[in-house]
């Protein structure tokens, strides 16, 4: 039995699309660059300097690195282009070893120079050069690189929010990036939706009019046994029940590395939760707020997700089960809204919140699909070399930019990672 996947993007470019692509790229490039600067417009230079842990980066580094991408992979190819600064290639190279050396990631926060204003000047310099370039003839390879660069910047837009949230959470004043008072929603009963087993088509092909990262391809058959998937993500109140029942004190619920992690850190609740006068509060991008009982629990690492699932008598879905369940569902939900920036309670019953709110951990190790081939050259370092020791998350979050998420999108993080807006959806056989 073979099920169809409505995300099949294997169609070839039609002639009309090819003609419109340069204008579309120009508009998408400019709107993406503008959104990044809108995101940081409420931050001061001191905010943008902060690096609160090795996994995070200062906001100003994100501003420079996303600019470095276009300068390195597009503009430096052009005759007569003069790089903005000769040392930026090292300072703002993330992990492209084939391009050259990189400044150590855990120490990015010690770089007070270049200043934020210099980095904004760098952005303007590169944007001006890119506008001129986009007004001319652009080859197919360059179009692909620019499209990748746009989606790369959208990833860093999300990272700006997650990194500044962790930095702000270290401040005893609990500052907020925005002003918002979150209201809870209705309690939607947790139900399990059944899905048939069979042979399904998963993933997509790196051709057609829709973008995908190379790790989403190639499209390939997968066998899925019959399964059930929770109608919504696990809520804060359900996770509070896990805590109250001794969830962080029972080693039988935890993977060995997870148990060692929480005991070593003295952790007894999600990282942004705090108990004040007997009530749970949560640090958000709008400051410290009372827990919204029916909103999805977030900033949960893989170990916590597995422990909760074991406690609940369930398991995490595989990434293929998640994709089967999401087939035909609209790619819509609580995705980036600059006035919200937080998961919200489900509004509807039935299978809901598959997209937006929280990235959902799966039990699938991040590895290559059968027949996977990274793109040629330095950009082949983008995804493939990280296929070791990480797990796949699906569905996007409340800080994922509109138009960036899709059915086949594979996010991936190490099991100890918590600072993303990551949550839990349960599954069972």
Q: What DSSP element (H or E) covers 305?
A: helix 302-311
Q: For residue 191, how many other CB atoms are within 10 A of its CB? A: 13
Give me the percent of the chain exceeding a pLDDT of 90: 90
CA neighbours closer than 13 Å in the CB half-sphere of residue 147 = 20
> Which one of 3.40.50, 2.40.50, 1.20.120, 1.25.40 gives the CATH number of domain 15-169?
1.20.120
* DSSP state string for 262-300: HHHHT--S-TTEEEETTEEEEEEBTEEEE--TTSBP-S-
Average pLDDT over residues 384-404: 96
Quickly tell me which residue has 């330095």 as its tokens. 378
CA distances from 17 to 11, 143, 150, 289 (A): 12, 13, 18, 47
Average pLDDT over residues 81-95: 96
Q: Give the three-state DSSP class for 18.
A: helix
pLDDT over 90 (residue 195): yes
Sheet holding 220-224, edge to edge: 2-3, 198-202, 220-224
Taking the CA atoms of 190, 194, 199 and 204 in sequence, report the sign of the dihedral they define.
negative
pLDDT beyond 60 at 197: yes
Q: Is the pLDDT of residue 50 over 90?
A: yes
Instruction: Please provide the average confidence, as pLDDT, over all residues in the chain.
Output: 94
pLDDT, residue 23, reads 79
pLDDT at 242 over 50: yes
What is the arithmetic mean of pLDDT over 3-31? 61
The DSSP string of 64-113 is HHHHHHHHHHTGGGSTT---S-TTHHHHT--S-TTT-----GGGGGG---
- What are 215's two structure tokens? 């790790």
Mean pLDDT of 87-107: 96
User: What is the average pLDDT across 302-319?
Assistant: 98
Assign domain 192-428 to a CATH class. alpha beta
Segments making up each domain of the chain, as ranges: 15-169, 192-428
- In angstroms, the Cα distances linking 403 to 67, 190, 205, 268, 396 are 20, 29, 18, 36, 11
User: Measuring CA to CA, which residue among 144, 132, 135, 150 is closest to residue 22?
Assistant: 135
The CA distances from residue 133 to 28, 66, 354, in Å, are 14, 17, 39
Are 169 and 272 in contact by the 8 Å Cβ rule? The answer is yes
Please indicate whether residue 95 or residue 375 has the higher confidence score (pLDDT): 95
**For residues 151-175, average pLDDT:** 98
d(CA 154, CA 34) in angstroms, rounded, equals 11
CB atoms within 10 A of CB 321: 25
pLDDT 10s digits, 366-390: 999 999 998 888 999 899 999 999 9
* 251 pLDDT above the threshold of 80: yes
Identical fold for domains 15-169 and 192-428, yes or no, is no
User: Which region among 178-192, 205-219, 355-369 has the lowest average model confidence (pLDDT)?
Assistant: 205-219
What is the mean predicted confidence (pLDDT) over 40-53? 97
- Element at 141 (helix H, strand E): helix 140-169
Residue tagged 């990672």 (tokens): 417
Question: CB count, 10 Å around CB of 24?
Answer: 13
pLDDT at 2: 39
pLDDT at 210 over 90: no
pLDDT of residue 206: 62
Torsion of CA 159, 167, 109, 116, to 10 degrees: 70
């Amino acid at each position: 039995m073979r099920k169809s996947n409505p995300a099949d993007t294997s169609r070839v470019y039609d002639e009309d699309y090819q003609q419109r692509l340069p204008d579309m790229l120009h508009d998408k490039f400019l709107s993406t660059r503008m959104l990044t600067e809108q995101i940081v417009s409420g931050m001061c230079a001191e905010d943008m300097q902060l690096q609160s842990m090795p996994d995070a980066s200062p906001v100003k580094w994100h501003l420079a690195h996303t600019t470095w991408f276009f300068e390195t992979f597009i503009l430096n190819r052009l005759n007569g282009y003069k790089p903005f600064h000769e040392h930026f290639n090292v300072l703002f190279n993330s992990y492209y070893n084939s391009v050259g050396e990189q400044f150590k990631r855990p120490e990015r926060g010690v770089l007070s120079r270049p200043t934020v204003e210099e980095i904004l000047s760098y952005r303007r310099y590169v944007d001006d050069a890119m506008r001129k370039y986009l007004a001319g003839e652009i080859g197919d390879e360059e179009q692909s690189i620019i499209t990748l660069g746009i989606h790369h910047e959208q990833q860093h837009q999300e990272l700006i929010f997650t990194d500044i949230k962790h930095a702000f959470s270290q401040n005893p004043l609990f500052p907020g990036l925005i002003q918002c008072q979150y209201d809870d929603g209705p309690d939607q009963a947790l139900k399990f939706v059944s899905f048939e087993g069979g042979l399904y088509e998963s993933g997509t092909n790196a051709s057609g009019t829709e973008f995908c990262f190379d790790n989403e391809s190639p499209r390939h058959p997968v066998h899925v046994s019959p399964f059930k998937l929770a109608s919504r993500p696990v809520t804060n109140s359900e996770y509070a029940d896990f805590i109250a029942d001794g969830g962080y004190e029972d080693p039988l619920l935890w993977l060995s590395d997870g148990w060692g992690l929480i005991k070593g850190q003295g952790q007894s609740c999600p990282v942004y939760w705090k108990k004040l006068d007997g009530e749970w509060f949560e640090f958000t991008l709008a400051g410290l707020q009372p827990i919204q009982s029916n909103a999805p629990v977030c900033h949960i690492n893989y170990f916590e997700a597995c422990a909760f699932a074991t406690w609940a008598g369930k398991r995490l879905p595989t990434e293929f089960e998640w994709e089967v369940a999401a087939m035909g569902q609209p790619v819509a939900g609580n995705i980036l809204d600059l006035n919200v920036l937080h998961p919200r309670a489900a509004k509807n019953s039935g299978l809901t919140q598959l997209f937006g709110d929280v990235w959902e951990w799966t039990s699938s190790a991040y590895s290559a699909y059968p027949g996977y081939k990274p793109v040629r050259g330095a950009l082949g370092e983008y995804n493939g070399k990280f296929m070791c020791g990480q797990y796949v998350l699906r569905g996007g979050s409340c800080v994922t930019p509109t138009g960036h998420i899709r059915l086949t999108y594979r996010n991936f993080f190490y099991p100890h990672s918590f600072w993303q807006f990551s949550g839990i959806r349960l599954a069972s056989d």
